Amino acid sequence: MQDIEFLYRDDDVVAINKPSGLAVHRGWADDDAFAMTLVRDALGQWVYPVHRLDRGASGVLLFGLSKESARALCERFERREVQKTYLALVRGAPPPELLIDHPLKPDNSDEPQAATTNVRLLSQLGRYAWVEARPHTGRLHQIRRHLKHISCPIIGDVKYGKGEHNRLFRERYALHRLALHASRLQLPGLDVHAPLPAELANTLEQLRQSEQERSTSPQ
Active-site residue flag, 54: yes
- CA 125, CA 210: separation in Å to the nearest integer? 8
Task: Determine which one of 12, 31, 41, 54 is catalytic.
Answer: 54
Per DSSP, the three-state class of 193 is strand
The rounded distance, in Å, linking the Cα atoms of 3 and 44 is: 15
SS in 3 state form for 25-50? Answer: CHHHCCCCCEHHHHHHHHHCCCCEEC
Environment class of 8 (CB within 10 Å of its CB; exposed 0-12, middle 13-18, buried 19+)? middle
DSSP notation for 72-134: HHHHHHHTT--EEEEEEEEES---SEEEEE--B--TT-SS-B--EEEEEEEEEETTEEEEEEE
Instruction: Classify 60 as helix, strand or coil.
Output: strand
Rounded to an integer, what distance in angstroms lies between the CA atom of residue 87 and that of residue 214?
25
- The amino acid present at 113, given as its one-letter code, is Q
For the annotated catalytic residues, the residue numbers are: 54
